[in-house]
Structure formats: structure tokens, C-alpha cells
Structure 1
Amino acid sequence: MRITDVQIRKLFDDSDMKAIASMTIDDMFVIHDIKVIEGESGLVVSMPAIAQPISTQVKSTIAEVILRSYQGALADDDLSIEQ
């Protein structure tokens, strides 16, 4: 499995849900509505109910890629917003 694209839509409210992501696998299959949630111990990635990774290794890989993309999107906003 190769994750070929990740799109992040940041949410700018005070809720625990911080972003919604879409992820493309092997340029052939897309999963929408992946949630980035602020949990008690940090950010958590929640897959939509219809799409679940089979192994913990795949689940970890997906979470790492989504969170890295989310952090990158936040950093891009920090550079473009004058304080």
C-alpha cells in the first residue's frame, strides 16, 4: 500500500475535532471523512466506519501520514497569518 495523496481541511472552532482528511491509496482508491481529533493524550486519527485498516501496522502508518499532513497544514497557516 502506498499513500499517494492526503488532503486536509482544517476546522477553526473550539471543538475537539481539528480537521477532516481525505487519503488516496495507490492513485486508485480514496477514503474521505478521516477525522483528526484532539484526545486526552494528544491528536488521534479516526477512520470512517466503512473503512478500517486490518493490521495495527497499517493503522499506525495511516495515522502518521495524516498527522504529519495536518501538522504541515498548520505550519503553512502560521507562515501566512500575520500576528
Structure 2
Amino acid sequence: MDITEVKISPISGDEKLKAFATVTFDDCFLVRDLKIINGKKGFFVAMPSRKMKDGTFKDIAHPLNNAMRQQLEAKVLEEYNKSIEEPKS
């Protein structure tokens, strides 16, 4: 499965949440609302989730193995870094 597009929507004014990402796979499947978060050990990507009745959160969509998680996180963070480096017009 290839990541064919990543769109970044930066968030301003939040110390931890830096942006939302939308990822397209194989030009035919889209996942919205991945979160780019600045954590204690640096930036990471959180999967879209839903709050459950007991107050916990459960991922709606997520990679099934570590290799795919690493590939997804690397691509999303690469696009995020490009988006914050672009000069503002």
C-alpha cells in the first residue's frame, strides 16, 4: 500500500497539537484527522480516534504493523516539516 498524498492543515496557538493531516493511500482510500503532536520526545502522529462512553479514546483507523506505522509517520512528518518551512505569502 502506497501513500500517494498527504495534506497538512497547521494549527496555531496550541502548544502540543501542531496540525491535522489527511492521507490518501493508492489514490483510492483517504484517512482524515491524523494529529501531529509535539510530545516530550519530539513530534509524533496520532491516529484518528473517537471518545468512548467511559471517557477513553479508541482509534478509528490505524496501521496493523510497526513497519507501516513508521512509513506513515515518516511521510506525514516529512510533509509537515515542508509545510512549516514554506514562506508565508
On whether the aligned pair clears a TM of 0.5, the verdict is yes
Is 1:80 equivalent to 2:81 in the alignment? no
| Cα distance in structure 1, aligned partners of 2:73 and 2:14 | 22
Map of 2:52 onto structure 1:
none
| 2:56 matched residue in structure 1 | none
Give the Cα–Cα distance (whole angstroms) in 2 for the partners of residues 58 and 12 of structure 1.
29
Specify the alignment match of 1:11 in structure 2.
Answer: 11
Percent of pairs identical after alignment?
33
How far is 1:6 from its partner?
A: 0.4
Alignment gaps of 5+ in structure 1 = none
Bigger share in strand: 2
Question: What is the alpha-carbon distance in structure 2 between the residues aligned to residue 11 and residue 50 of structure 1?
Answer: 22
**Aligned-residue RMSD, C-alpha:** 1.0
Q: Which runs of 5+ in 2 are unaligned?
A: 49-58
Task: Report the alpha carbon displacement of residue 20 of structure 1 after superposing the two structures with TM.
Answer: 0.2
- The list of structure 1 runs, each at least 4 consecutive aligned residues, that deviate by more than 6 angstroms after superposition, is none
Please identify which structure carries the higher helix content: 1
What is the aligned length?
79
